Amino acid sequence: MRLSALLEAAGLEPAGEWSDAAVSGFAIDHRKVAPGTVFGAFRGERFNAEDVIPQAIEAGAVAVVASPEARVEGAAHVASEEPRRAFARLAARFFEPVPETLVAVTGTNGKTSTAEMTRQIWRMCGRSAASIGTLGVTTPDGSVSTGLTTPDIVTFLANMAGLAREGVTHVAYEASSHGLAQYRNEGLTLAASAFTNFSRDHLDYHGTMEAYFEAKMRLFDEVAQPASPAVIFDGGRDEVWIPKAIERAKARGLDVRSVGEKGRFLRLTAREATQLGQVLTVEFEGSARTIKLPLIGEYQAANALVAAGLALSTGCEAGQVFDALSRLQPVRGRLERAAIAPVGAPVYVDYAHTPDAMEAAIAALRGHVDDARGGRLTVVFGAGGDRDPGKRAPMGDVAARGAERVIVTDDNPRGEDAGAIRAAILEGARGAGGEAEIIEVAGRRDAIAEAIAGAGDHDIILVAGKGHEQGQIIGSGDDMRVLPFDDVEVARECAGRRNRDTGR
Ligand SMILES: CC(=O)N[C@H]1[C@@H](OP(=O)(O)OP(=O)(O)OC[C@H]2O[C@@H](n3ccc(=O)[nH]c3=O)[C@H](O)[C@@H]2O)O[C@H](CO)[C@@H](O)[C@@H]1O[C@H](C)C(=O)N[C@@H](C)C(=O)N[C@H](CCC(=O)O)C(=O)O
Ligand SMILES: Nc1ncnc2c1ncn2[C@@H]1O[C@H](COP(=O)(O)OP(=O)(O)OP(=O)(O)O)[C@@H](O)[C@H]1O
Ligand SMILES: N[C@H](CCC[C@H](N)C(=O)O)C(=O)O
Ligand SMILES: [Mg+2]
């Protein structure tokens, strides 16, 4: 493919003497440049790739997308004030074709669940579907991890093209705020977009809630196709951010389709919890429908409705969509029933790693605790290192208010002192001033074991924060190690060990 053709298709300036260069690939890391590569030289948080432009050209780069000030000698300089965006647009013209129906999901919590549920619904409606997000690239054959929720733009686009080659026609992907801010998913035509909710997270990176919200709004402002459907969850409780999101989508001229208790497109009129799921009554196009959702928790109902909204907005037939909701499979690590303690108490694993998510996960289980028979809720959790430190105390606070027993432990300490992270959470938990028993147990395996060993017959245990994750990340940079760790497996082992110990 000629550089000139790509530049023209992307609406970028011609490359003069370099126009005839043949492009063989794209890279954002100079160590991955091969002859014929277009190199995106970005100024990052830790590294300024403009410093390695000569090495990239030496390795065969034919064009470098970089800021106008960058020095590029011996290859085309595709200059842009926003090089990440220009690079994405160019790369999107190279990695073609891509699946014809693409939808993007953003929001603080619920992106993975919604993308995965959308994939499942599409599949049940007969589409060949995949999802890309925290769980990796998921197809009916399984998941392959990419390491990030929104992979870098080259991995993202290459995966899209790969999926199209395999015959996948529908892809739901997660647009994280980091991904949106760094233009990691751009240049594609979206059939629809979605917004699940908004609450505190990632303020280490974005600084303020407003800046974090703005990063998310790039989805509606710039990434979504004009006039395309925007499915927005509106349960009526968030009277600040959801109305703002709706406003922004309208301002861009998107076709806003709200779902939830205040939904105009798909309205939730009743919700009744059952032991292993819930019965939802929804109103769609003037008629009421009953859905037996086989998943517990209000938050899972919210995500299922957003997923239904996306499926309905991409050509699926309503009857099939509502029928599919009744057959949804659980999303890995989201209120997953992992084990049963020897006394009979169930152990749930959930990915709650923000205060709002913790509240949602606790609320989902609270109703299942048999208070009348002395049942208690135990929450085991920590908070990630090198991530928004301001969310730690609020997570402790929410847990201490919602549970009877709080066991504070470790969750990916990364480059930070694990004890200091626990201390911040404990301060929040103790500050809640409630009756909850608050315990600190360094080491996640010991904490889970302690929770199970101390459980009563009618208790429920929630192990939060790591969900599907397969490792504990210790250290950073060159010292980083990932120690194998899986909450579900550890819960099963601890429950089993206790089984053997007690003979029960
Ligand atoms: C803060 C953040 O998001 N950083 C990501 C970002 O880094 P950056 O652009 O600042 O990169 P940098 O390391 O300073 O390097 C700048 C540029 O130089 C290049 N480089 C670097 C070194 C070198 O020798 N040669 C070279 O060319 C890099 O490829 C990069 O393009 O781009 C890098 C390349 O794609 C990512 O690896 C990196 O993710 C880091 C590791 C990370 O931990 N990110 C997390 C916070 C994240 O993105 N999480 C979100 C949200 C999770 C959620 O809530 O769902 C996610 O989408 O996963
Ligand atoms: N709609 C929701 N409202 C409130 N909390 C939710 C909602 N959906 C999920 N959660 C909580 O957030 C956790 C993570 O859910 P999920 O993985 O779907 O979100 P995510 O947005 O993909 O997260 P991440 O930012 O890590 O990628 C769940 O385990 C649950 O505790
Ligand atoms: N995508 C989120 C996941 C956090 C999960 C939690 N286990 C942690 O490590 O903080 C992040 O990168 O912030
Ligand atoms: Mg996710």
Mean pLDDT, rounded, for 327-342: 96
| Shortest-distance Cα residue to atom 21 of ligand 2 | 109
384 lines ligand 3 (CB under 6 A): yes
Q: Is 34 exposed, middle or buried (0-12, 13-18, 19+ CB in 10 A)?
A: exposed
To 5 degrees, how large is the angle CA 330–CA 334–CA 336? 65
What is the rounded average pLDDT for all residues in the chain?
Answer: 95
Distances, alpha carbon 420 to alpha carbons 239, 375, 483, in Å: 35, 32, 20
**DSSP H or E stretch at residue 309:** helix 298-312
The predicted structure's pLDDT at residue 504: 42
The single-letter code of the amino acid at 461 is: I
303 lines ligand 2 (CB under 6 A): yes
In testing the pocket of ligand 1, which one of 182, 186, 202 has its CB within 8 Å of the most ligand atoms? Answer: 182
The predicted structure's pLDDT at residue 122: 98
| Shortest-distance Cα residue to atom 15 of ligand 2 | 110
Band (pLDDT 50/70/90 cuts) for residue 502 is: very low
| pLDDT surpassing 80 at residue 146 | yes
Residues 6 or more apart whose Cβ sits within 8 Å of residue 79: 13, 66, 67, 68, 70
User: For residue 13, how far is its CA from the centre of ligand 3 (angstroms)?
Assistant: 39
| Shortest-distance Cα residue to atom 14 of ligand 2 | 351
466 lines ligand 3 (CB under 6 A): yes
Mean pLDDT, rounded, for 320-327: 98
What ipTM goes with this model? Answer: 0.95
The predicted structure's pLDDT at residue 497: 59
Q: What CA–CA distance (Å, rounded) separates 408 from 124?
A: 40
Q: CA torsion 102→108→110→116, rounded to 10°?
A: 30
The predicted structure's pLDDT at residue 305: 98
197 lines ligand 2 (CB under 6 A): yes
| Shortest-distance Cα residue to atom 24 of ligand 2 | 109
Whether 118 and 166 have beta carbons less than 8 Å apart is answered as: no
**CATH class (in words) of the domain with range 101-325:** alpha beta
45 lines ligand 1 (CB under 6 A): yes
56 lines ligand 2 (CB under 6 A): no
3-state DSSP assignment of residue 239:
coil
| pLDDT surpassing 60 at residue 501 | no
User: For residue 110, how far is its CA from the centre of ligand 3 (angstroms)?
Assistant: 13
Atom of ligand 2 nearest to the CA of 201: 25
Phi, psi of 18 (to 5 degrees): -95, 5
| pLDDT surpassing 80 at residue 38 | yes
| Shortest-distance Cα residue to atom 27 of ligand 1 | 29
Mean pLDDT, rounded, for 163-171: 97
| Shortest-distance Cα residue to atom 7 of ligand 3 | 466
pLDDT tens digits for range 261-288: 999 999 999 999 998 899 999 999 999 9
pLDDT tens digits for range 98-145: 999 999 999 999 999 999 999 999 999 999 999 999 999 999 888 898
The predicted structure's pLDDT at residue 431: 95
User: For residue 487, how far is its CA from the centre of ligand 2 (angstroms)?
Assistant: 17
The predicted structure's pLDDT at residue 140: 85
User: For residue 151, how far is its CA from the centre of ligand 1 (angstroms)?
Assistant: 9
- Whether omega for the bond prior to residue 97 falls within 30 degrees of 0, making it cis, is yes
| pLDDT surpassing 90 at residue 306 | yes
Whether 123 and 205 have beta carbons less than 8 Å apart is answered as: no
Q: What percent of the chain has pLDDT over 90?
A: 93
299 lines ligand 2 (CB under 6 A): yes
User: For residue 174, how far is its CA from the centre of ligand 4 (angstroms)?
Assistant: 7
Domain boundaries, the chain: 3-82, 101-325, 336-502
To 5 degrees, how large is the angle CA 440–CA 427–CA 407? 25
Whether 422 and 442 have beta carbons less than 8 Å apart is answered as: yes
E strands of 294-417, at which residues?
336-340, 346-350, 377-381, 405-408
Helices then strands, each counted (H, E), the chain: 16, 23
Q: What CA–CA distance (Å, rounded) separates 198 from 239?
A: 11
Band (pLDDT 50/70/90 cuts) for residue 500 is: very low
User: For the CA atoms of the chain, what is the radius of gyration?
Assistant: 24
Q: What percent of the chain has pLDDT over 70?
A: 98
Q: What CA–CA distance (Å, rounded) separates 225 from 252?
A: 9
Q: Is domain 3-82 in CATH 3.40.50.150, yes or no?
A: no
Query: Which listed ligand is nearest to 114 at the C-alpha?
Result: 2
Binding residues: 107-113, 149-150, 176, 182, 184, 387, 411-414, 465, 469
Provide DSSP, 246-298.
HHHHHHTT-EEEEEETT-SSEEEEEEEE-SSSEEEEEEETTEEEEEEESS-SH
Mean pLDDT, rounded, for 297-325: 98
| pLDDT surpassing 50 at residue 503 | no
CATH superfamily of this structure's domain 336-502:
Mur ligase, C-terminal domain (3.90.190.20)
Burial readout 369-386 (b: 16 or more C-beta within 10 A, e: otherwise)? beeeeebbbbbbbbbbbe
The single-letter code of the amino acid at 279 is: V
47 lines ligand 1 (CB under 6 A): yes
The predicted structure's pLDDT at residue 236: 87
Q: What CA–CA distance (Å, rounded) separates 175 from 149?
A: 8
Provide DSSP, 124-182.
HTT--EEEEETTEEEETTEEE--SSSS--HHHHHHHHHHHHHTT--EEEEE--HHHHHT
Mean pLDDT, rounded, for 69-79: 97
Query: Which listed ligand is nearest to 349 at the C-alpha?
Result: 2
| Residue (of 437, 458, 454, 464) closest to 338 by Cα position | 464
Whether 266 and 284 have beta carbons less than 8 Å apart is answered as: yes
| Shortest-distance Cα residue to atom 16 of ligand 2 | 110
| Shortest-distance Cα residue to atom 19 of ligand 1 | 29
User: For residue 246, how far is its CA from the centre of ligand 4 (angstroms)?
Assistant: 22
pLDDT tens digits for range 174-224: 999 999 999 998 899 999 999 999 998 999 999 999 999 999 999 999 999
410 lines ligand 3 (CB under 6 A): no
Q: What is the token pair recorded at 296?
A: 């517990």
